[in-house]
Amino acid sequence: MASTVTLAKPLALHWQQPGPRLFATIKGLLFLLCLLPLAQLLWHALLGHAVNPIEDLTRGLGTWTLRFLLITLCVSPLRALGAPGWLLRLRRMLGLYAFFYACLHLLTYLWLDQFFDWGAIVRDIVKRPFITVGMLAFLLLLPLAITSTDGWIRRLKRNWGKLHRLVYVIAPLGVLHYLWLVKRDLQSPLIYAAILAVLLLWRLWRYLRPTLAARVK
Amino acid sequence: MFPREITAMLIKTLTDRLSAADITPQEVYLNRRQFMAGSAGLLLPVSAIAALPAAKSPLSTSEKPNSRDDITGYNNYYEFGTGKDEPALYAQRLKTRPWTVTVDGEVTRARTFDIDSLLKMKLQERIYRLRCVEGWSMVIPWIGFPLADLLKQVQPTSRARYVAFETALRPGEMPGVARRVLDWPYREGLRIDEAMHPLTILAVGLYGEVLPKQNGAPVRLVVPWKYGFKSIKSISRIHLLEKQPPTSWNMAAPNEYGFYSNVNPAVDHPRWSQATERRIGEFFKRKTLPFNGYGEQVAGLYRGMDLRRNF
């Protein structure tokens, strides 16, 4: 009889509150999943008979930076829509992947596009708005990546949350960087802009809701 | 529809992989292509692959041409989509026969040329550098004839100061024109002296064969000292006129693309530098040359002009 009592938890409970081992597995799988785009981009550039592999790599890394920023911004709305709480514990990794892809994207520009010609790079940053905003977005990502550790979260207390709201500036700069780079066909950057707009407007609405409700009363 | 396209893609990939024109003697390679085309024909109609005999030209560069795969797999031809790989996928729908090119306007003998009569012109191979405004370049072995040879036949009047070109507009065959990315049909223009210059050709072939559709079949302009977008594809009309004609990219963004659009490393695109370029297939970037390296032949056309203002 006792054996029926010790039966495994129902599946729904596993989903809501996974044990430490299951959570570690989920986290490990997500870690590997986030590396797949990089593997695909490198495979395509090095072995895929691409005509202009360097441009494909640079563009691909930029696209994935934007995608990871948007994915990170999806966590809170998903949580509000009823997704389990442990999703929040994966957000840091998603954000750090955005930073990781941003670093590689910047590296392809500095190395494969400019070949570390620092004079030309500085002129580029000053003169070309799309590079200016791209570089600005990267610089703003830096403090977020640095303060992503448990130690910094403890030290900064409430200010940590305030600091990390910088992502609401970084993501639009990233979309603008893409929009200003495109020659004529704005369809793709506008899709990113629309998704970002939904994610940011949802936050604005949630932020203003209490004030608005109070006024109605 | 869908499986047919996939089959066509597979066959195209297979034939292109097998062609390797730069390492196989051309005769062997042509026979093999004909064989491939023949066996492909059992599955679906493939446009005839015809060899085009052409004389060598002293105006060709001695630089090594890019591979056929590079030239036919990386194209800007917005009528078939804005992705570089889309023209190769979708341009095969374009019906290039029958095809005519009407030449009219300020001429004494306006005429409509059939594509077969253009293929019978004295053809030459012209190996030219092509520099795209986006910052990449290739070396391409075109086959064609000087545009001047055609224009002389229609006898331009003394008022013919410019030449306007128009790409065919076929919404049923060109999926890209459903979106107004540009103001269709695609239009380009040259000054009459640029059009009559010996370097300016109408190309009907590439790598010893008729022009692939994604490269602007059946007949396109090639002006090697200007950015690639000036070299209009799949021409259906040539119109000579007194005033400077409107041109597609200039209409779309006049501050970014001028009427002349001569390759010029000293005049940047407002959003990116034009000082260097990446030759497709190379790791390091090259310095871009004034007039794409054809300055000796064409700089005289612009004597006394401020090329910063007339970009």
Is residue A62 in some structural domain? Answer: yes
Is residue A9 in some structural domain? Answer: no
| B3: pLDDT strictly greater than 80 | no
At B13 the pLDDT is 47
Query: pLDDT tens across A208-217, in order?
Result: 988 888 887 6
- From B74, B181, B182, residue closest to A52, measured CB to CB: B74
Entry field: residues in chain B: 311
Is residue A39 in some structural domain? Answer: yes
* Phi and psi angles of residue A17, each rounded to the nearest 5 degrees, phi first: -135, 80
| B31: pLDDT strictly greater than 80 | no
Please count the CA atoms within 13 angstroms of the CA of B81 that sit on its side-chain side. Answer: 16
Residues B25-44: b if buried by 16+ CB within 10 A, e if exposed: eeeebbeebeebeeebeeee
The count of domains in chain A is 1
CA distance A201 to chain B (A): 29
pLDDT band for position B9 (50/70/90)?
low
Is residue A34 in some structural domain? Answer: yes
Q: From CA B213, how far away is CA B224, in angstroms rounded? A: 20
Query: pLDDT tens across A196-205, in order?
Result: 999 999 999 9
Between A2 and A109, the more confident residue is A109
Q: From CA B173, how far away is CA B75, in angstroms rounded? A: 17
Mutate to test the interface with B, among A184, A186, A190 (most CBs of B within 10 A): A184
At A212 the pLDDT is 81
Please count the CA atoms within 13 angstroms of the CA of B52 that sit on its side-chain side. Answer: 31
Helix and strand counts by DSSP (H, E) for chain B: 9, 12
pLDDT band for position B159 (50/70/90)?
very high
List % helix, strand, coil for chain B (3-state, nearest 5). 30, 25, 45
Which residues on A lie below 8 Å from B284 (Cβ)? 115
ipTM at complex level: 0.87
Q: From CA B274, how far away is CA A116, in angstroms rounded? A: 18
Query: pLDDT tens across A28-85, in order?
Result: 999 999 999 999 999 999 998 899 999 999 999 999 999 999 999 999 999 999 999 9
Residues A128-144: b if buried by 16+ CB within 10 A, e if exposed: bebbbbbbbbbeebeeb
At A10 the pLDDT is 78
* Phi and psi angles of residue A96, each rounded to the nearest 5 degrees, phi first: -70, -30
Farthest CA pair distance, chain A: 78
pLDDT band for position A162 (50/70/90)?
very high
**Least confident segment among A1-10, A179-188, B59-68:** A1-10
What does pLDDT average to over chain B? Answer: 89
CA-wise closest residue to B223 among B209, B207, B202 = B202
Amino acid at B246: P
What does pLDDT average to over chain A? Answer: 93
- From A51, A124, A185, residue closest to B73, measured CB to CB: A51
Which residues on A lie below 8 Å from B70 (Cβ)? 51
Contact at CB, B271 and A51, closer than 8 angstroms: no
The CA-based angle A111-A114-A115, given to 5 degrees, is 50
Entry field: residues in chain A: 217
| Residue B210: strand pairing partners | B205
CA distance B39 to chain A (A): 25
Domain B63-302, CATH homologous superfamily name and number: Oxidoreductase, molybdopterin-binding domain (3.90.420.10)
Query: pLDDT tens across B255-301, in order?
Result: 999 999 999 999 999 989 999 999 999 999 999 999 999 999 999 99
Q: What percent of chain A is predicted at pLDDT more than 70? A: 95
Q: Where are the domains of chain B?
A: 1-46, 63-302
CA-wise closest residue to B82 among A184, A45, A61 = A184
In chain B, the N- to C-terminal Cα span, in Å, equals: 45
Is residue A10 in some structural domain? Answer: no
Is residue A13 in some structural domain? Answer: no
| B125: pLDDT strictly greater than 90 | yes
pLDDT band for position A135 (50/70/90)?
very high
Q: From CA B124, how far away is CA B79, in angstroms rounded? A: 28
- Give the residue from chain A lying closest to B13, CA to CA: A49
Looking up tokens 């001695």 gives B62
Q: Which residue ranges of B are tagged as binding site for Mo-molybdopterin? A: 75, 78-79, 132, 167, 215, 220, 231-233
Structural domain boundaries enclosing A115: 20-216
